[in-house]
Amino acid sequence: MTSALKLKARHGELGAVAPHLEVTIKREYARDRGRCEIVQRRFDRDLGIYVEEYRDEETNALTFRKAVPLTDQSAHGHRGSWG
């Protein structure tokens, strides 16, 4: 089982407005690099951007980064998923 840290921030009341910022941080296996890394995914609806960053578990060095507009459907990955 993999655990994750998730954060959702809103400008208004819970249930009245959608979150404007969603962040997930978890340990994930990076197939192309053949090792587990720490991945952070951010959906920022205020800025209209999606950011995905992978970092080495031991050194915290950035190994991969993607930042794309939320409106860019071609950046969603295989079969439209964000993963």
Query: Residue 36 has which token pair?
Result: 């587990």
Domain assignment present for 32: yes
Domain assignment present for 54 = yes
Q: Among candidates 9, 48, 8, 42, which has minimal Cα distance to 25? A: 42
Residue 14 belongs to a domain: no
Note the pTM of the prediction, 2 decimals: 0.76
Q: Is 6 domain-assigned?
A: no
pLDDT in tens, 29-58: 988 889 999 999 999 999 999 999 999 999
**Partners of 57 in the β-ladder:** none
Per the structure, the count of domains in the chain is 1
Q: Is 40 helix (H, G, I), strand (E, B) or coil?
A: strand
Query: Taken in order 66, 70, 74, 77, is the CA torsion positive or negative?
Result: positive
Q: How many residues does the chain have?
A: 83
Does residue 11 lie in a domain region? no
Binned at pLDDT 50, 70 and 90, residue 81 comes out as very low
Only one residue has tokens 């995905």, namely: 52
Asked whether residue 41 is domain-assigned, the answer is yes
The answer to whether position 71 is within a domain reads yes
pLDDT above 90 covers a percentage of the chain that reads 60
Name the range with the highest mean pLDDT among 5-14, 15-24, 37-46, 67-76.
Answer: 37-46
Domain carrying residue 61: 24-77
Answer yes or no: is pLDDT of 83 > 90: no
On whether residue 58 sits in a domain, the answer given is yes
